[in-house]
């Protein structure tokens, strides 16, 4: 039998020591968590910023390209051209103006549903003598609500639908009355931009909108986007464009 020696100088941790150790560990884990959350937020902001800059650039380019093509329905004849601008009644061409919801005021994102904020048409002329109808494409820009965000933002989408059109002699398109036939499968939906806080239209000069169908004006379009999780993070983009038609307010 070997000799047994008593254990000396050994003891367990006291409750106070355990509590101190747990507190230190908790503080350490708290700061690790804060660093992780901060890094994730920074990454989310960076990802959002990169995405929204691309959307703003592509969206404003899309609007610019199509607004540059705005036009009145026209009839091409062998010896003349007829369109609503030739009508003595200047109000006839108004149906084909580019129309906006507000001029010189911010249009805020809706809290529910959607609102139309712009409408315009792009036309290709009819040629009655060749038995060729014209073509009219109607574009509508909608501002749709986006739920469950810290700030009120929405999405901009545009619809497009194409029709063939014909008119009747002797005034043809000058009368401003066209018979529309939908083109099958022509309806399209385009995503313009998301997380939009407001849109701004400003006609220059904006004291009064043009009443003459050939009074072409510059128009500024500004789209302002906000990061839904942080109102202090935002991006915007604007363009100046001149439609080939008059400009009026939506009814």
Q: Is residue 26 part of a domain?
A: no
Q: Is residue 4 part of a domain?
A: no
| Position 10 pLDDT exceeds 90 | no
Q: Is residue 60 part of a domain?
A: yes
Whether residue 190 contacts residue 160, with contact meaning beta carbons closer than 8 Å, is answered with yes
How far, CA to CA in Å, does 110 sit from each of 77, 105, 196, 220, 248?
46, 15, 10, 21, 22
Q: What are the tens digits of pLDDT across the range 186-243?
A: 999 999 999 999 999 999 887 789 889 999 999 999 999 999 888 889 999 999 999 9
| Position 125 pLDDT exceeds 60 | yes
Q: Is residue 147 part of a domain?
A: yes
How far, CA to CA in Å, does 108 sit from each of 3, 68, 145, 188?
90, 25, 10, 25
Q: Is residue 20 part of a domain?
A: no
What integer pLDDT is reported at residue 163 of this predicted model?
Answer: 98
Q: Is residue 16 part of a domain?
A: no
Per the structure, the count of domains in the chain is 1
Q: Is residue 185 part of a domain?
A: yes
Q: What is the arithmetic mean of pLDDT over 104-130?
A: 97
pLDDT band of 34, cuts 50, 70, 90: low
What integer pLDDT is reported at residue 120 of this predicted model?
Answer: 98
Q: What is the arithmetic mean of pLDDT over 170-176?
A: 96
Q: Is residue 76 part of a domain?
A: yes
């Amino acid at each position: 039998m070997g000799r047994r020696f008593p254990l000396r100088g050994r003891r367990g941790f006291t409750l106070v020591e355990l509590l101190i150790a747990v507190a230190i560990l908790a503080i350490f884990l708290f700061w690790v968590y804060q660093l992780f959350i901060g890094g994730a937020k920074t990454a989310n902001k960076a990802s959002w910023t990169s995405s929204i800059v691309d959307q703003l650039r592509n969206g404003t380019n899309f609007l610019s390209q199509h607004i540059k093509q705005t036009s009145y329905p026209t009839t091409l004849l062998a010896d003349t051209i007829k369109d609503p601008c030739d009508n003595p009644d200047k109000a006839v061409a108004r149906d084909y103006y580019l129309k906006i919801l507000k001029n010189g005021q911010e249009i805020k994102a809706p809290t529910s549903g959607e609102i139309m904020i712009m409408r315009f048409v792009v036309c290709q002329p009819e040629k009655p003598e060749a038995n060729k109808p014209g073509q009219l494409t109607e574009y509508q820009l909608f501002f749709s609500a986006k739920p469950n965000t810290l700030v009120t933002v929405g999405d901009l989408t545009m619809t497009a639908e194409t029709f063939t059109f014909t008119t009747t002699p002797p005034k043809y398109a000058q009368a401003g009355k066209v018979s529309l036939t939908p083109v099958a499968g022509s309806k399209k939906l385009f995503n313009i931009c998301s997380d939009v806080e407001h849109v701004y239209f400003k006609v220059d000069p904006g004291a009064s909108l043009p009443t003459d169908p050939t009074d072409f004006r510059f128009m500024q379009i500004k789209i302002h986007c906000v990061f839904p999780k942080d109102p202090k993070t935002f991006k915007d983009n604007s363009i100046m464009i001149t439609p080939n038609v008059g400009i009026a307010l939506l009814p």
